[in-house]
Amino acid sequence: MSGARGDQGESLLELLIAVAIMGLAVVAIMAGLVTSVLISDVHRKQATAGTAVRDYAEAIQTSVAGEHYVPCAGATSYKPDALVPAFSAPSGFTPSVVAGSVKYWNGGAWQTGCSTDLGLQQLTIQVASDDGRATERVDVVLRKPCGLDTSC
């Protein structure tokens, strides 16, 4: 009984190679999907933090314009509370004034120590996601309103 050898089917070695190639392809596709989901999450958090930090800066400027300027302010002077009531951080994000970032104008340059506050402050504020994946910062310059100072 002689038959054509091509009709006997696939060999075990051929099947193992085919399964290995398909397995590698599936792993590569799944790795790409997982990476795209993670990057999408980071991008969403960056966009949310960017919007929140701009909202925080606007709330601080509104508060200062409403005569809540803090002379020789520190990092905790403009936190979202009674002084800056118009801002509440999105869930999962923490707003803050960056420690050591508050500077004061002395008439010729920005200085870090507050010996005299001439009514102009620069501070860096940030909003960071609680998981550490996104942090956005903005520098804000605050000017004491003329209603608080008779020398305007």
Pick the most confident of 35-44, 98-107, 142-151: 35-44
Beta-carbon contacts of 138 under 8 Å, excluding residues fewer than 6 positions away, are 53, 54, 56, 57, 124, 125, 126
Q: What is the pLDDT of residue 125?
A: 93
| Among the ranges given (53-67, 71-85, 101-115), the one the predictor scored with the smallest mean pLDDT | 71-85
Model confidence pLDDT, tens digit, residues 7-40: 566 788 888 999 999 999 999 999 999 999 999 9
Is 64 strand, coil or helix? helix
Q: What is the pLDDT of residue 93?
A: 95
- Beta bridge pairs of residue 111: 104
Q: What's the mean pLDDT when you consider all of the chain?
A: 86
Q: Is 73 left (phi over 0), alpha (psi -120 to 50) or beta?
A: beta
3 vs 91: CA distance, rounded Å: 73
Please compute, for residue 93, the number of CA atoms within 13 A of its CA located in the half-sphere on the CB side: 27
Q: What is the pLDDT of residue 101?
A: 86
Neighbouring CB atoms inside 10 A of 29's CB total 10
Model confidence pLDDT, tens digit, residues 113-150: 888 788 899 999 999 999 999 999 999 999 988 755 55
pTM of the model as a whole: 0.74
Q: Distances in Å between the alpha carbon of 82 and those of 42, 92, 106, 110, 146?
A: 31, 21, 29, 28, 22
Q: How confident is the model at residue 3 (pLDDT cuts 50, 70, 90)?
A: low
Q: Distances in Å between the alpha carbon of 124 and those of 10, 57, 60?
A: 68, 9, 12
